[in-house]
Amino acid sequence: MQFLCAPESLAEGQSRGFLLGGIKLLAVRKDGHVYAYVNRCPHKGVPLEWQADEFLDSSRSLIQCARHGALFLIDSGECVTGPCEGESLSALDCREDASGIWLALPD
């Protein structure tokens, strides 16, 4: 597991982008849990954010691809509307303790 950030660096309802081990990632805190994904839309392989650390739709309840408008569930990464409906973001194994948020990067 690799250190991502301090727990207080990702507030409830917030999304943030990271570069870790050469991989662009995004993390979102929802209902006290942290979810992490590779920052790549399954439709065209492009990054999701429209500006730094902005991955959520206007309701802040879904991850949104800025390029295609696809919407993804925060807790599973599944696309629920858009050109990649039924596909999913690549989830990363994530855990949190008092000292930080930790990720297992893909091989």
The upper half-sphere exposure of residue 10, i.e. CA atoms within 13 Å in the direction of its Cβ, equals: 26
The tens digit of pLDDT for each residue in 5-28 reads 999 999 999 999 999 989 999 999
The answer to whether the predicted template modeling score (pTM) of the entire model surpasses 0.75 is yes
Q: Looking at the domain that runs over 2-104, which CATH code has it been given?
A: 2.102.10.10
The tens digit of pLDDT for each residue in 17-68 reads 999 989 999 999 999 999 999 999 998 889 999 889 999 999 999 999 998 8
22 and 15 Cβ atoms separated by less than 8 Å: no
User: What residues are paired with 103 via a beta bridge?
Assistant: 2, 94
